[in-house]
Amino acid sequence: MALTTPRVADSRLVDAFIADCVAEVRANAQQDPLKARLLIEPRAREALSREGFAFDVLRSRLSEAACSTASRLELATYSYLMNALPKAASIVGIDCVLANSPSEDIVRWDAIDAWIQIGQPKSLAIEEARRTAVEFGTQRRFLSPPEVARILRETPPSRVIEATIITDDGDKI
């Protein structure tokens, strides 16, 4: 019987976790990134609660996967996992999601939200996403809560789609 070192065991668990998430998305998401996100949310919550989960290995694997050629649904999976599990996010992986997903939608938004959570300086890809943002869903991620509140106050209710922001103090605006 071969002995398995903890690092190898961790790598296998992480690889199985990612493969399970991607398989679920491929089988059931019907090309819908939002549906993909909802399908893997319970798995992400479970991983976050596991004591000793190898987030460093997951961070490395997600970066590698996001930087390789991945389908749109796979990118949605990696982007969501980085956002839901900030310990698994890296600026390299986030930049790769942004580079491989030009649409301003939930895939990019999850990547930008992950970047905000990990508190890294703006990379060239993050700055490019900010500079070229057209959709309010993208633009608001680069604004301070007071700026968002001002815009929402000035926008007729019929034009507001995304309206709830939670400040650092826990206040909803």
The rounded distance, in Å, linking the Cα atoms of 74 and 152 is 33
Q: Tell me if 110 sits within 8 A of 81, measured CB to CB.
A: no
The rounded distance, in Å, linking the Cα atoms of 130 and 140 is 10
The 3-state DSSP class for residue 84 equals helix
The pTM is what?
A: 0.78
Eight-state DSSP code of residue 170: S
Which sequence spans correspond to the domains of the chain?
6-134, 143-173
Q: With 60 as the cut, is the pLDDT of residue 6 above it?
A: no
**pLDDT top residue among 162 and 38:** 38
- pLDDT over 90 for what percent of the chain? 38
- pLDDT digit string, tens, across residues 77-118: 999 999 999 999 999 999 999 999 989 999 999 999 999 999
Q: With 50 as the cut, is the pLDDT of residue 172 above it?
A: no
